[in-house]
Structures are given as structure tokens and as C-alpha cells.
């Protein structure tokens, strides 16, 4: 079945460091891909998305490119801030029919001053 695999956390970085969180997926057809972020005590909220191959999603300095050839959707940010500390989830939405969201395990990011 369809699945999402993320790099394990926690990821600990200093402020202004470069961030990469790896995400790969297994899916039939042409899924849409998402990154969600969860701040402490809150629900998940959409960070960015890409709906077809080679699309780049971006928001708040974060970027991810939909790579069909490597089935990947890695999250990157050039300079992280303490306020970026959260749990990040990669997800896919199955193509066609009833398109449920399937999430990866989540990666906790801690950014220190």
C-alpha cells in the first residue's frame, strides 16, 4: 500500500543553520505531496504542498520539490529560527477516488539560539 517514510528525529540545529528533512514515498498513480507542521499543543497545519512532478512548494522560507524519479519530497530551509522548532510531517494524498491523507512518522526539530 501507499506509505511515507521520513528521517528519524530529533534534529537539533543552531539558529541560522541549514535544514533538510528527508521524505520518500511509495504510491501508485500520481499522488499529491504535503508538509505539515505541528507546534507544541496544537493541531497540524499545512506548511506547503506540490501536486505534480517537478512542482516546488514553498512557504515561510521552507521549500520542497516533488521528485517522481526518486519518489522524494525533501523539506529544506536555508536559515532556521528558534520559532521553527516543531514536529514536521510529510504526507501524501492518493490520486483518484477518495483521496485520504497518509502521514509519515514526523520529525521533531529543535533549534537553539
Residue 4 contacts residue 104 (beta carbons within 8 Å): yes
Residues facing residue 33 across a β-bridge: 50, 92
User: Alpha-carbon distance 86 to 37, whole Å?
Assistant: 7
User: In the set 2, 5, 65, 93, which binds another protein (CB under 8 A)?
Assistant: 93
Q: How many residues bind another protein (CB under 8 A)?
A: 22
The radius of gyration computed from the CA coordinates of the chain, to the nearest angstrom, equals: 14
User: In the set 69, 70, 100, 113, which binds another protein (CB under 8 A)?
Assistant: 100
User: In the set 62, 80, 104, 111, which binds another protein (CB under 8 A)?
Assistant: 104
What residue ranges bind another protein (CB under 8 A)? 32, 34, 36, 41-46, 49, 51, 89, 93, 98-106
Amino acid at each position: 500500500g501507499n506509505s511515507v517514510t521520513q528521517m528519524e528525529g530529533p534534529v537539533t540545529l543552531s539558529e541560522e543553520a541549514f535544514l533538510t528533512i528527508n521524505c520518500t514515498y511509495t504510491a501508485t498513480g500520481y499522488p499529491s505531496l504535503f508538509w505539515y507542521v505541528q507546534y507544541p499543543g496544537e493541531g497540524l497545519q499545512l506548511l506547503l504542498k506540490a501536486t505534480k512532478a517537478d512542482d516546488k512548494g514553498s512557504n515561510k522560507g521552507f521549500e520542497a520539490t516533488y521528485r517522481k524519479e526518486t519518489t522524494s519530497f525533501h523539506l529544506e530551509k536555508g536559515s532556521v529560527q528558534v520559532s521553527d522548532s516543531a514536529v514536521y510531517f510529510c504526507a501524501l494524498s492518493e490520486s483518484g477516488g477518495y483521496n485520504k491523507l497518509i502521514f509519515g512518522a514526523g520529525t521533531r526539530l529543535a533549534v537553539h539560539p
